[in-house]
Amino acid sequence: MSTARLTINLHALASNWQALNAKTDVETGAVVKSDAYGLGVGPVSSTLVEEGVRKFFVAAAEEGVAVRQAVGPGPMIGVFSGHMEGDTDLLRDHDLTPMINSPEQFVRHQQALPDHAFGIQLDSGMNRLGWEPADWAELRQKVEALKPVVVMSHLACSEEPDHPMNRQQLKTFRELTDGIDAPRSLAATGGMLLPPEFHFDFCRPGIGLYGGLPFADAKPVVTVDLPVIQVRPVEVGESVGYGNCWIARRPSRIATVAAGYADGLHRAIGGGIDVFAGGKPCPLVGRISMDLITVDVTDLPEDPERLRILNGHQTVDDLAEAAGTIGYEILTSLGARYSRGYVE
């Protein structure tokens, strides 16, 4: 097989949800947008609904269709983008719950689906999605009379527990929602690690379920195994890869491995990243190209057939740090060429 293998540990996923759920005294949902952060929304959602999740969230109505197929009737599937033009049939036919972001979306929803459940998303200071406070103040009574199933907002800096923005947004969210009958939600993964006053009626973790920071106690969910195409000798002074950016300082054996930036291994990843043969680290050398990476396997006793780049020793956040990005981007960039398998 010449394609890389991505393995998703659904047992670890379930354990991460259980661990996060235990951190609060309120209900815990799950964010499964972007194909469950690239890991397969069907298997992930099926696993989580068996754990007891009854509130799922996606970015767009189209994503909600696959979640509904996986979880069946009953659980709420919230759509962060709200009720967009053209969403009506999807929302109705698959029982999806739009998180209404503006007065315009509110009017659209009431005209198209007046008896259909909806939630409200408020802007508490992030200035990304949600009702502006002035619009909410003007229409709050009218909206409340129609009984939204949730009123939510989103923290901008929850991964930095001491950032003053957290308390500022908490204060704003309380001012906008105190006295409302609907369940309230402010916390995603980072917010669940903040004090209980951030938790409200339910939390909605995302990245922490999949093994990423800021949930440092998360179990690794993803492993990535890469097939070795060729191993070649490289003499002292010879270079490897584009730009001659790595030059051998000793007689070396270099493995060319089938994966590259087209598979989510960002070109910016450089020094400090290893690829593993069993538990033995082998340094990545040279530049990552579209379909290939090169690895120094000189210290292995024999040429490997496969190498592993994501494992319990090296996480998506390690790759992200090396690339100057975040674990979210690494996960959601894992490409379609991987063959995929699931461990339950």
Residues 6 or more apart whose Cβ sits within 8 Å of residue 208: 16, 20, 189, 192, 214, 215, 218
Q: Are residues 166 and 291 in the same domain?
A: no
Nearest to 139 by CA among 101, 111, 168: 101
One of 142, 147, 171, 242 is an active-site residue; which one? 242
Regions of the chain where pLDDT drops below 50: none
Assess if residue 4 is contained within a domain.
no
pLDDT of residue 74: 97
Paired with 97 in beta bridges are 78
Active site residue 219: no
DSSP SS3 for 280: strand
One of 33, 37, 210, 338 is an active-site residue; which one? 33
Assess if residue 19 is contained within a domain.
yes
pLDDT of residue 189: 98
Active site residue 142: no
pLDDT of residue 270: 73
Pairing mode of beta strands 202-203, 306-310: unpaired
Q: Are residues 150 and 246 in the same domain?
A: no
CA-to-CA distance for 122 and 129, rounded, in angstroms?
A: 7
Q: Are residues 148 and 235 in the same domain?
A: no
pLDDT of residue 1: 57
Q: Tokens 């309230």 appear where?
A: 184
Q: Are residues 20 and 151 in the same domain?
A: yes
Domain of 324?
A: 222-343
pLDDT of residue 46: 98
